[in-house]
A and B are shown apart, each in its own frame.
Chain A
Amino acid sequence: MGADGRSESEDGGALAVSAVNMVDGVPLFLAYVAVACALLSGVVSLFAVRRHPDFLHTGSFLFLFLAGVASITAGGWALLTNLTVTDRLALGLPWLEWHLRLDPLSGFFLVLLGTLVTAASLYGPSYTREYTHGEAPQPLPPLGVFTATFVLGMQMLLLADDALVFMIFWEIMSLSGYFLVVYQHQHAGNRHAAFLYLLLAHVGALVILLAFGVLAAFGGGLTFAQMRAAPLTPLWATLAFAFAFLGFGTKAGMVPLHVWLPDAHPVAPSHISALMSGAMLKMGIYGIVRVSYDLIGEVRWEWGVALLVVGTASALLGVLYALMQHDLKRLLAYHSIENIGIILMGLGMSMIFLGSGHPLLGTLGLVAALYHTLNHALFKGLLFLGAGAVLYRTHERDLERMGGLIQRMPVTAFMFLVGSVAISALPPFNGFVSEWLTFQTALQAPALDNGVLRMIMPIAAALLALTGALAAACFVKAFGIAFLGKPRTRHVAHAREVPMGMLLGMGWLAALCLVLGVLPTLTIEAMAPITRLLAHTSLPAATAQGWLWLTPVSPQGASYSAPFVLLALVVVYGLGYLFLRRGAAPARRCYPWDCGFGSLTHRMEYTSTSFTQPIRRVFGAVWKVDEAVETTTAGAGPIPRVTGIRHHLHVQDWSWLKVYQPIGRLILDAARRIGFIQTGSIHTYLKYSFGTLVFLLWIVSL
């Protein structure tokens, strides 16, 4: 009270002010609680040795669940009440405290992270039993500890308000990710994948450091507040943006810096894959948004064009590579690349509009991109958890060995179907809403003055439509081959449903997919504080017609009513049941049509490779395809008798062959050439040390 210096007559007002200040501090306190719970979950799992695995299964995941709930509450509070709170902690260097900040943008990403963490922590206890009771037991403490530091790293980097805190927790997140990817280190492939992940993560971190370096040099300090005030010339602003884009884009997984993603995500434990694909990639998007919209401030349309081009390439190449995969988790990893591409397209269009002086349309693009970020986290998390459920029961990741699981694992199949429909951008689920908003943003291209930009946007949108349709084809393949038809191996034919915890984790995400698809107006209203913070505009027209109608630009422009769509589907189903099914004789069961040749086996079904053969033929130049058919024949005579046919197919990523392998060879070559300075003689090394010392003394004396 004394610090306020208020007189006694204003006591009620002072109390009200201090009450408001106390209430404002609650979300930040909850964020600290979330961080503490994540830390505790790591500490508890240290005790989960072989004889006490429940410390991990029950204890650690319980704390992780609480961390998730606290994250959602803290983030949601900050987002819905349009709150920005800062704090300083006396940790870190003596002359540089830790600056922390919770604002609507961090709140949004905290909600995203918290949702995935809660789903993973519901799913984890049953899933990790595989590591204690399964065929290849692994020690549990590393899994728990590194999951905890992974989540902790992401939470703290979202709260960071200076570059030091940001980079410390960015590195903690990356390193924990490495240990999680290499968790099952017995396979050489896993070690290789983890090394590639670590290499690219560190290259990205170095480039991010360069970006912060540029901003800090002009701002005169490492805090974000100083960087916001930095006077940047257009050249340096573009340079800072380019570094941030490359560095954060490596983490997000944009083409051509994506090669680590398809190797690393499949080999991690499935709930970690869900967290990595759902949350860690979004930290890259968070970084791009934070640096360009917040720290640099004035976005330029040229950056938008770069983002649009890279985003379109990522989306198209991601989905085309995904189509050729028959490893289910690798397929999902490539789809993450595709969806990051779509998010980058939305951000690119937003920057183009903002940089050309159309704040409302730029906000629409930003809303579309952020909506897709949230949607992708939800449905990709759901799909990875579903793939993990299949892996848990059948020990199979290869689509060509699955089949018929809808009969054996009905609830998992339903959840995976929800995820597939959502990611294919089909109404009434959430993926459709964000893609529709992205299309609506692109359709506003006639508002631009630049003729070239007005041509680029429709072409990019057409390629986005192609991507969406190919994604639907890919998920028809993934769901159809894995869950429908007949089982292709004996193990899969005897699969059982997964435990309730895993179903709850998936169900939570599936329900959110439906809710975000049916209530887009509420979500966009909730995101208004973010756009007001970043672009200083919001979209009043989007929700002006009420909660039922989504009208992004104007009611006459375009509108979509998701609740009506759901209602119509339900009504048609109800009417069909009433009029057609009741009173009709029950359907007879019989064998399917087999052209009169006899009983059908699983060998006559379409496989994943055959399903995508037309697409492989149409888009052939995109992959390096090695396809060969060899026939073994027996018997002499003019017409040999064919006794066997083998089909070989190997599909490779061109960027690995054309970009990374040449770079690798170049580096090894250069290293070999420089290696001549290593003579092995101590006299030479002493000469090197002496020379360096003399050189440094000369520099210091200048």
Chain B
Amino acid sequence: MNSLAMSSLSIAWALAAAQTLIFIAAAPLLAGWVKRLKCHLQNRAAPTVWQPYRDLAKLMRKDMVLAENASWLFRATPYIVFGATGLAAAAVPLIVVHLPTAAIADLIVLVGFFALARFFTALAALDIGTAFGGMGASREMTVAALAEPAMLMVVFTLSMTAGTTNLSTATETVLQAGVVLRPSFLFALFALAMVAVAECGRIPVDNPATHLELTMLHEAMILEYGGRHLALIEWASQIKLMIYAVLIVDFFFPWGIARDFDAVSLAVGVGAVTAKVMLLAMLLAAWESVLAKMRLFRAPQFLGFAFLLALLGMLTSIVLETGS
């Protein structure tokens, strides 16, 4: 009995490790898919979906050039950023709902991981002492500070219904409730989508494809990075986008995710999450093609609106859905 429990525990941990590796490996594919869709929507010649892998491989092979006054902090930051983001990926249920790694971090710890990555990226930006770094760091910290209350209010709305912030348990609760329309969840969905756009540096808050100083936020912070450092940081930002996409899928449309460890459930889980994330990517590509990047001081209004939506979701949950 004990050995059976032990073996099922070790199977769970092995699956968790495998899921994390799949998550990390699939993130560039999502980025490639979004880029391809955007190009098609904007009538441009699209690269293949495998292009981000080729870019990462090229960057890993390249020689590295560092600025003269780059300190040990500059060199350590890519590893810290990748580690924190990878650990966040380990805690999010991708294919299977119940995995032991989801107990390492709940939703608030996830936000903490992103905050850790952002903290060190901003420090690395200030390390070289150029104006670009300072600009990127200053803007990024302002936008992030404004996004935090909205994110936390979304967490509140979700935990009021699910009764927990543990990602596995929350997904399971939403699964078990069936297809139910909750107004609070609707508000929370839009708020989370807006926060995700701000945190991942997508249009309209930031332009991921630009290198002009007036328009950069995230890119300005990593301007001095090259070679394997840049590969790790780019990969980490792709993983972050995928994490937010999978979070939206898990909380609001979790049907199809595997609840057992047998082959059929796993296959269905993989297919379901792939289809849903691809659909979200289409929405993101359409959104980015329709909107233009806002000027920096419109971002507080954008994020204030997200906070308002989340607040409405929380109030709706208290007033309409008490007792559920």
Contacts and interface: CB of A to CB of B under 8 A. Distances in A.
A694 B12 CA distance: 91
B89 to A, nearest CB: 11
A424 interface: yes
A592 B224 contact: yes
Interface in B22-75: 60, 63-73
Given A462-B156, A557-B164, A584-B228, A590 B131 contact: no
Interface string B230-261: 00100000000000000000000000000000
A587 B113 contact: no
Contact of B79 (A481, A573, A602): A573
A458 B60 CA distance: 45
B292 interface: no
B65 A484 contact: no
B82 A476 contact: no
A549 interface: yes
B271 interface: no
A142 interface: no
A463 interface: yes
A604 B119 contact: no
Contacts of B127: 406, 480, 484-485
B97 interface: no
A469 interface: yes
Contacts of A443: 155-156, 159, 165
A465 interface: yes
A605 interface: yes
A605 B134 contact: yes
Contact of A462 (B116, B152, B315): B152
Interface string B63-101: 111111111110010111011101100100000000000
Given A469-B115, A572-B83, A612-B138, A589 B66 contact: yes
Interface in A190-237: none
B149 interface: yes
A591 B68 contact: yes
Interface string A556-599: 11111100110011011100100011001101111111100000
Interface string A433-460: 0001001101100100001001100110
Contacts of A421: 116, 119
Nearest to B159: A443
Contacts of B296: 614
B128 interface: yes
Given A473-B141, A559-B106, A560-B105, A424 B119 contact: yes
Interface in A601-621: 602, 604-606, 610-615, 617-618
Contacts of B147: 469
B135 interface: yes
A466 B145 contact: yes
Contacts of B70: 589
Q: Interface range on chain B: under 10, 10 to 19, 20 to 34, or 35 or more?
A: 35 or more
Nearest to B105: A560
Which of A440, A443, A557 lies at the interface centre, i.e. has the most chain B CB atoms within 10 A of its CB? Answer: A443
A427 B138 contact: no
A583 to B, nearest CB: 11
A407 B69 contact: yes
A371 interface: no
A80 interface: no
B318 interface: yes
Q: Interface range on chain A: under 10, 10 to 19, 20 to 34, or 35 or more?
A: 35 or more
B255 to A, nearest CB: 21
A592 B63 contact: no
Contact of A446 (B68, B113, B160, B165): B160
A356 to B, nearest CB: 16
Interface of A is mostly: helix
A292 B295 CA distance: 50
A463 B149 contact: yes
A135 B314 CA distance: 60
B129 interface: yes
B152 A569 contact: no
Given A561-B104, A565-B87, A614-B142, A576 B79 contact: yes
Contacts of B290: none
Contacts of A481: 126
A610 B138 contact: yes
A468 B115 CA distance: 10
Contacts of B122: 476, 480
Contacts of B319: 451
A469 B66 contact: no
Contact of B119 (A476, A485, A565, A594): A476
Which of B118, B123, B147 lies at the interface centre, i.e. has the most chain A CB atoms within 10 A of its CB? Answer: B123
Contacts of A442: 156
B148 A555 contact: no
A600 interface: yes
A462 B63 contact: no
B149 to A, nearest CB: 4
Given A573-B79, A573-B83, A604 B68 contact: no
B146 to A, nearest CB: 7
A533 interface: no
A486 interface: yes
A403 interface: yes
A498 interface: no
A416 to B, nearest CB: 12
A581 B227 CA distance: 11
A432 interface: yes
B142 A600 contact: no
Given A426-B115, A443-B159, A559-B103, 12 more contacts: A439-B108, A446-B163, A451-B318, A480-B137, A485-B128, A557-B165, A560-B104, A569-B87, A573-B76, A589-B66, A592-B128, A602-B129
10 contacts: A439-B152, A466-B146, A469-B144, A472-B141, A476-B119, A485-B126, A556-B164, A587-B64, A604-B130, A606-B135
Cβ-closest 8 pairs across A and B: A606-B134, A480-B126, A572-B83, A485-B129, A473-B141, A469-B145, A465-B152, A469-B148
